A and B are shown apart, each in its own frame.
Chain A
Amino acid sequence: MEKSRIYEAMEIAGLIVRSRNAALTDSEQAKLSAWINEDPRNASLYAQFQRDINVHQLLKQMDGYDFAKSLAKVRHRITGKRIMSKNISKLVSVSRIRWMAAAVVILALGMGTWFMLNDQRVSSSLNHTTVSTYKNDVEPGRTGSILHFPDGSTVNLDTLQSNSLNTSIGFITKNEQFASFQKKDPGNSIAGHLVLETPRSRTQSFKLPDGTIAWLNSSSTIRFPTTFSHNVREVEITGEVYFEVAHDALKPFRVKASEETVEVLGTHFNINAYPYKQHQVTTLLEGSVKVSGVILEPSQQFSAGKISSADTSLVIAWKNGYFQFGHHTVFREVIAQLENWYDIEVEYEGMIPERTFYGKIPRHLSLVNTLTILEELDVHFRLEGKKLTILR
């Protein structure tokens, strides 16, 4: 076995550890996803590390090894002498991790490592005879979108051959980072509105005429003018969009969504207006926004007339290439995200599991690999074509 493969394995381990405690860079994430996608057993191993109890059990196992005895034996063998026990304790005293029976105290610390603060969760390991069956696999979503013009014509950005396209109204360009549209005639007259649409299983980052960048999750749209007016920048969205608004003190940026309109000066925020969410959720990351007459501060969220604090990394995990589920993520919401990203239909054989999920899964995985990870949580599936059934 080549040494390089050993180093790769060590690197993957490092990525798994870091992914649970920090944000990975794009290339790190790609590396980890590639490894998970390589083999279902890799996906299973990754899944194992999404469950605290597995980590606790392994730590306990490691604690059971007799370090002191082994150290003494090794020292004896390499020096050929007996080492006095008092020398050992002078050099190395080992604190051993001890467990009390099965009690696992779990506490929540935001994104958490494998040790969390507060929440008492009893992980049940049910004895299941249910087994998942996968007749096929489904590719994950990718970059792509459709740009709709005022005259009704459309341009499909993923099938665009070159990196730029000349249309009657303006230029469409795309690069690694984002796609954009630049109006042709430099005058200020508004030639109409464009609508950028991401179908299911697609995501797109797009630069608006003022330099603002919008990231669209799947099944979303943004409607914007070819040129913004002189005193305000107004757009309209459906679905889920994350904004990094270009600063312009003279022209506030307004986003109209399903329920509330969000007004900003220059800032980073996420609006989730998906139907599966009972109410529009507006989350502020940086800067300042006003929604429904209320001014939000960073890490605050507005929904159905109420402000609350948000775990921002959880809210924009999608934009960073992850599904991330927190302590209050119900099963229904997990499924809704899968439906959008993999473009599948979901059915329940029995009751909808009443569980909350906690974990982080890269979005670049194929559906079967993602489901293999979710199986760790005692849920089982049947996949046929694009139809997913949650088994009893």
Chain B
Amino acid sequence: MSSGNYYNDETCVAMLNQQDQQAIALLMQRLYPALCLYAESFLEDKQWAEEMAEDAFVNLWQRKGKFPNMSAVKAYLYTSTRNLCFNKLATIKTRKHIQERLDGEYDTPTESTVLRHIVQAEVMAQIMNAVESLPPVLQQTFKMAYLEGLSNNEIAIAIAKNEQVVRNYKMRALAKIREKLADKDLLWLFLLIASQTYKN
């Protein structure tokens, strides 16, 4: 069941600054996927990416810092993740230099490239968060339609409503996503803790 808890960015940061452990869960919910995406841009390995992201959140916690806002938290996480990834790359390089490969595959990325990876991760974070922040009923319909490719008819059957209702849900979901992504405020306004977990 949806717990219906809404935490805005300011609250999450305040919780972090007060060393409230719940903050880490909330921050990870928003930032973990994008941070993994960012790490994978360097390491090109899913598992390593997840590990780097975990380490970054642990570092964030252990730093016991006072962050002024969410942007500062993100900047810290991106920096920490990058450093962790570079260390990892150096380790790989050391091992690899024994082999013949000279194609520079594990060369340290330039600052320009690093910044581009941040841009990509941030764009995707916003999009994903917009989808995740949909109210449960709209989110469910949206995901069935766009991510699972179900027709209106199939969705209607699945949620026991008629097709017109399904179309209506879709329209509203798209409008909300668009509204969210058009918002001047780059920070999240709400975190909706979703009720359903979809299992494959």
A positions within 8 Å CB-CB of B = 1, 3, 5-14, 16-18, 20-22, 39, 41-42, 45, 48-49, 55, 58-59, 61-67, 69-71, 73-75, 77-79, 88, 90-101, 103-105, 107, 109, 112-115, 117
Contacts and interface: CB of A to CB of B under 8 A. Distances in A.
B119 A65 contact: no
27 contacts: A1-B79, A6-B75, A9-B115, A9-B122, A10-B122, A13-B121, A13-B126, A14-B126, A17-B127, A18-B182, A18-B184, A22-B181, A42-B116, A55-B124, A65-B36, A77-B54, A92-B25, A93-B196, A95-B139, A95-B194, A97-B128, A97-B131, A98-B147, A103-B149, A104-B149, A109-B175, A113-B181
Contacts of B193: 92-93
Contacts of A105: 145-146, 149
A98 B116 contact: no
B99 interface: no
A115 B146 contact: yes
A65 B124 CA distance: 14
B75 A70 contact: no
B181 to A, nearest CB: 4
Contacts of B79: 1, 3, 6
A117 B143 contact: no
Interface string B161-200: 0000000001100110110011110100000011111101
Contacts, number: 196
Interface of B: 3, 21-22, 24-26, 28-29, 32-34, 36-37, 40, 46, 49-50, 53-54, 57-58, 61-62, 71, 74-75, 78-79, 82, 111-116, 118-124, 126-128, 131-132, 139-140, 142-143, 145-149, 170-171, 174-175, 177-178, 181-184, 186, 193-198, 200
Contacts of B170: 107, 117
A114 B53 CA distance: 26
A99 B79 CA distance: 31
Nearest to B113: A41
A57 B30 CA distance: 19
A62 B36 CA distance: 7
A96 B199 CA distance: 8
Nearest to B124: A58
A41 B110 CA distance: 12
Nearest to B82: A1
Given A105-B149, A115-B142, 16 more contacts: A13-B121, A13-B122, A16-B119, A58-B120, A61-B37, A62-B128, A69-B50, A70-B32, A71-B28, A73-B54, A74-B61, A77-B54, A95-B139, A95-B195, A99-B148, A109-B171
Contact of B148 (A20, A21, A100, A109): A100
B45 to A, nearest CB: 12
Contact of A113 (B34, B116, B177): B177
A5 B111 contact: yes
Nearest to A79: B21
A62 B37 contact: yes
Nearest to B184: A18
B186 A10 contact: yes
Contacts of A59: 124, 127-128, 131, 147
Contact of B186 (A14, A69, A92, A94): A14
B24 A55 contact: no
A95 B50 contact: no
B54 to A, nearest CB: 5
Nearest to A13: B122
A20 B182 CA distance: 8
Nearest to A16: B123
A92 B23 CA distance: 11
Contacts of A99: 147-149
B182 A22 contact: yes
A10 B71 contact: yes
